[in-house]
Structure 1
Amino acid sequence: MGMPISFCFLLACLLAITAGGSLGYPSLKASPTLSVSPALLQKSGQVVKVEWEGVTPNVSVLSVMVGNEMGTKTELGSLPIADEKGSVTLPLVNMRRSYYFGVRQTESTSLDAQVEVPVANKNEPAHLRISRVDKPHSLSVTFTTATSGEEEGLQPVVVYRKVDRWGKGREWSLLACASHTYTISDMCGSPANDSAWFIPPGVFHEVQLDDLDVMIEYEYRAGLLPPPPSSSSSSSSHLRAGGEKVSDSELEVMAAGGYLSPPALLRGPLEGGEDYSVAFVFGDMGVSVPFDTPNIEQQFPSIITAHLMREEMKARWDEPLLISHIGDISYARGYAFLWDWFMSLIQPLSAHVPYLVGIGNHEYDYPGQPFDPAWAGYGVDSGGECGVPYSSRFRTPASGEGSVKGKNTLWYSTRHGPVLYVMMSTEHDFTTGSEQWLFLNDTLANVDRSVTPWVVFQGHRPMYTTSSTEPFTTHLQEHIEPLLHEYEVELALWGHMHKYDAMCSIYKGECADEKETNWNRYIDAAFRDEEVEVEKPTQDIRVVPGYTKHVVVGNAGNDFQVAWSNDGHNHQIPPKISVFRTVEFGFCIIEASKDKLQFTFKTDGDGRVRDSFLLYH
């Protein structure tokens, strides 16, 4: 008796499947699988390995996600999958919430597989940064944790002491921090106020270290800690204003019951009048992340620029250092996760050297901002942040006037050895008689040239540029240039245009000496060959009182470019004020003594000096 035909057919199918489709029938594929090792993010920056198997290649992507405020997940970005089985390694920044990896089809939002990577310590002290303040011999220290620590009986603190090279075990001075944060309600537009993209920033803690000796090394640690074992009080206000002394052993006990960062080094700041100082200056850096973000811009060169500055900082650690970032800081533009990645990028710098900032259009601009003349066209460049994430994260050397929601000053000055650095905001009213204009006028009028013989003026949008016409140039020349002229400011630095653009010493559009531009054009012609190993020679420039040397330094990371302007003949001939200009990425170094100021531009490509000039009186 034969088997029914239907049973025979099913048996044949089963045999074909078991044999891997050898009879022409397709094999059944197992569902995709994902795994991550390590399975727990122990610390920020840790590298994890994501492995997959059973994935349809070339039409699938690896999705990188975090939990959001709606109780769902937001895809931050993705990576293409080219093989059925494979892996990828990437670092993860602690964003105080779990990461998730998933596999999905390119055109689909449904996940075929996913795996969670929890964060071991959401209160890991992160984003350490120090800044100058408006008090002599003092610095501020700021750091971030997920919570205030109050529910755990902890308090935000910083401990510090002079570095002891002889192992005598000096006690730590322990200071309590003030704390603040912001919420989604502080945002003023999309995507910053979109629940899918808003990530609570954690809590920012800040304290001021006083009576620091100039250029002496200190080590410090920051975190959430219980009261010292020797303290007679268990309340959250147990620390005296002047600090409390704790030993190494006491600190070890406290750290076991809380969260404490590894030791970091800083140096006591210069106060003005010293013979020598160094500053790294740049603008428009941003950040890059290790996955694709198709609808969100990344600044890929920023990684190299930050790395080269770290190496320069290490090489110059015994010198008095300062960092000045002249606007367009993280380019988060409402996508909050980019602030976490940016702060992690700069921490190897900002934890050790005072990191000063100026506000740019991508931190502040929003519809309806208080100063919004028709000619400005400020727009929506902050992505709804309206300056709040920027001002909440960064302390500047003064506080009070010109603040965003009372948290930060947007124009200020600070003395660093023989140089007075002055920062303005091009996003706020700078017209004659405005609050900012009065501050700038008063600051420049009262410079003591016996203490700071050099003045370096900074702002985001340029007063002069040889890129295509920037509408702000006319108004900055009308309202601010007379101040630079009257008070004989030697050097002005700008960002916004993503190029290096050195111009002559200028007043009212005219160079003080045409030899300044001709010299560098002829010299540069000899250094166009990429194989040339020697560095370009330095141009010596005698300062002409009332004429200011202008340089655009917005080339630290953002690669969006506008066309160069020219003298009317063709694209290759620069305007008459141009000395040297390039689209190469990098950063600049100012080395100042009482009688000379050396300015150097180093490229990301090979770290060589691409341009250099020396100002002298």
Structure 2
Amino acid sequence: MCIMQNQCVNKEKSHYSGTVNGTIHVVVGGGGSHLSDFTTAPPIWSIFRDRDYGFVKLTAFNHSYLLFEYKKSSDGKVYDSFTISRDYRDVLACVHDGYFSFALLSGGLSNPKLVAVSNFIAFANPKAPVYPRLAHGKSWNEMTVTWTSGYDINEVVPFVEWGPKGGKQIQSAAGTLTFNRNSMCGQPTRTVGWRDPGFIHTSFLKELWPNMRYTYRLGHFLSDGSYVWSKRYSFKASPYPGQNSLQRVIIFGDMGKIKRNGGSNYQPGSLNTTDQLIKDLDSFDIVFHIGDLPYANGYISQWDQFTAQVQQISSTVPYMIARYATDYGMFHFCIADSEHDWREGSEQYKFIEHYLATVDRKQQPWLIFAAHRPLAYSSNDWYAEEGSFEEPMGRESLQRLWQKYKVDIGFYGHIHNYERVCPIYQNQCVNNEKSHYSGTVNGTIHVVVGGGGSHLSDFTTAPPIWSIFRDKDYGFGKLTAFNHSYLLFEYKKSSDGKVYDSFTISRDYRDVLACVHDGCVKTTLPT
């Protein structure tokens, strides 16, 4: 069996492929002398045992395929065998041995040249649980905890120990998943970008009490009866849907990651955004990162770099990243997938309309739409060059839904800047106010918050008439719901955390019910 430090690193028994991790050890001492006895019970790392005379044959068919056979001397027949198949890149791939050495290369992938190599360093436990991240579960009172480790489900029992702060702690089991090179769609992820992702564990913490502070830690129960623990973290449970309490939401897109030593500058503002959010961690309750996370571009290790960068945030508040619909107190969020068809009649259009239509605006007055690519309005320069201010086929179908169901605000990323648009419908501003909106809901305010950290995007020279505020800088948006009648939006720069643009919305439930153009139930007069 493939083994390292007394641990089996590959559960396969007859064929080994891909990354070289662990060495297969074989005893072939049955050449002819008196035979030796085995222990009664085979160890977990023993695959095949035979107390008889025999020999081994290795057959290398080519550079990629090796056959091992154990034959008995009595008849020459094969009684045990295995094969190894791999390419040269599998030999080069990094695997864990408890000791690591780091190399500095110049010249990029096309002409790599070794500059320096570090001394070997060791980790107390290279398989230890890392990168905890929280997210909403399937219901408002459920939190998922996901983390990464080097432990397969056959080696440990993963779980989360959690409970009210200062109260009784319980344990919830975790599921374990992973993926392999063949799961990837092509280069570079299958070649130079591949790295063993380890194992991804997820546990569901259920029946949480609204707004209660909980503590948790990640646990692994090993086969020898010992435990591996993470440090202890904490989070605040979500409010009950419609609950009238202070609720604060962060939203942005396109952050990326960057090394602390400045070794990469493709997403130069990402550390400013990360550090500012960590500094402000006590002033918000949930994060919506609407697309373009690490810009891994086929290099799996960059996902680890990103999750490590945001860990202080994602381990403390829900960090929401995918398409879905979810409730958070007085908010109802509908997050669309701008990479798939959203036109009328499509499955996604039906999904969007269903979730916009089913919200109870009396309990959740603040209806928010979001997508990665601007499906509404952006005065980014390349949109203008294409004769549009949106993604192709963007708002023609969706704007009728926004108006019909009176969506308050639409948020987008993809364009790496900040821009706020007036309440608008069919290319027309329906409210000329700029800082405070009250009364009837007519038109949706669209906001681009794509300045999370990646290289900045230019605007058109002249702003369109619907553009209220534009800023080519790094920043993020913050929504604060004070109650069912008053909402504050703020745009903050990542460099200093100060507010550079803001507006408020105040209204009552009757304002949501009021009839506006294309926003009322259609009726037919009697004849």
Separation in structure 1 between the aligned mates of residue 149 and residue 188 of structure 2, nearest angstrom:
24
Q: Which residue of 1 aligns with 2:243?
A: 274
Q: Secondary structure at the match of 2:119?
A: strand
Alignment of 1:200-219 (within 5 A): 200-219=196-215
Q: CA deviation at 1:291?
A: 5.3
Please, which of 400, 416, 426 is the counterpart of residue 328 of structure 2? 416
**Per-residue deviation, residues 170-210 of structure 1 (Å, max 9, x unmatched):** 4420111111111111111221221x221111111111111
SS at match of 1:485: helix
One of 233, 253, 268 as aligned partner of 1:283: 253
Question: 1:155 deviation in Å?
Answer: 0.4
For 2:38, the equivalent position in structure 1 comes to none
1:197 aligns with 2:186: no
In 1: Cα distance, 2:234 partner to 2:97 partner: 25
1:555 aligned onto 2:451 = yes
Q: What's the counterpart of residue 499 of structure 2?
A: 609
User: Secondary structure of 2:380's partner?
Assistant: coil
SS of match in other structure, 2:277: helix
Give the corresponding residue for 1:501. 419
- Whether the 8 Å CA contact 1:486–1:546 is kept in 2: the answer is no
Counterpart in the other structure of 1:43: none
Q: How far apart, CA to CA, are the structure 1 residues paired with 2:153 and 2:266?
A: 34
Find 2:142's aligned residue among 135, 138, 143.
138
- Alpha-carbon contact 2:266-2:455 (below 8 Å) kept: no
User: 1:564 is matched with which residue: 456, 459, 462?
Assistant: 459
**SS of alignment partner, residue 205 of structure 1:** strand
Q: CA RMSD in A?
A: 2.4
Gap change, CA 1:421 and 1:95, over 3 Å in 2? farther
Provide the TM-score with structure 2 as the length reference: 0.73
Instruction: Give 1:468 shift.
Output: 2.2
Identity level (%): 27
Q: Does the 8 Å contact 2:406/2:442 carry over to 1?
A: yes
> Does residue 145 of structure 2 align to residue 124 of structure 1?
no
Which position in structure 2 is the counterpart of 1:599?
489
Aligned counterpart, 2:473: 584
1:350 aligns with 2:314: yes
1:158 Cα offset (Å) = 0.4
Following superposition, the deviation at residue 491 of structure 1 comes to 0.5
- Does residue 484 (structure 1) correspond to residue 402 (structure 2)? The answer is yes
Tell me: CA distance 1:111–1:606, structure 2 relative to 1, closer, same or farther (3 Å): closer
Structure 1: runs of 5+ lacking an equivalent: 1-67, 75-93, 165-169, 228-233, 235-253, 359-410, 517-538, 566-570
**Pairing 1:261–2:230 present:** yes
Q: Provide Cα deviations, 1:337-371, integer angstroms capped at 9, x if missing partner.
A: 1100100111101111111013xxxxxxxxxxxxx
- Name the structure 2 match of 1:178: 175
In structure 1, how many angstroms separate the alpha carbons of the residues matched to 2:489 and 2:430? 18
- Would you say 1:453 and 2:454 are equivalent positions? no
State the Cα deviation string for residues 558-601 of structure 1 (Å, max 9, x = none). Answer: 1142x312xxxxx2x31101111101212111001200110011
Structure with greater helix share of residues: 1
- The structural deviation recorded for 1:162 is 0.9
Structure 2 Cα separation of the partners of residues 299 and 97 of structure 1: 32
CA distance in 2, matches of 1:103, 1:458: 41
Q: Distance in 2 between matches of 1:177 and 1:118?
A: 28
- The change in CA–CA distance for 1:596 and 1:108 in structure 2 (over 3 A counts) is closer
Q: Which runs of 5+ in 2 are unaligned?
A: 1-87, 508-527
Q: Deviations over 1:492-515 (max 9, x none)?
A: 000000001111111111111234
Contact 2:456/2:473 (CA < 8 Å) preserved in 1?
no
Q: 1:336 aligns with which of 289, 292, 300?
A: 300
- Are the aligned partners of 1:282 and 1:554 in contact in 2 as well (CA < 8 Å)? yes
Residue number in structure 2 paired with 1:468: 381
TM-score normalised by length of structure 1: 0.63
- C-alpha contact (below 8 Å) 1:512/1:544 kept by paired residues: no
Q: How many residues of Structure 1 are paired with residues of Structure 2 in the alignment? A: 409
CA distance in 2, matches of 1:448, 1:226: 47
SS of structure 1 residue aligned to 2:281: helix
Q: What SS does the aligned partner of 1:304 have?
A: helix
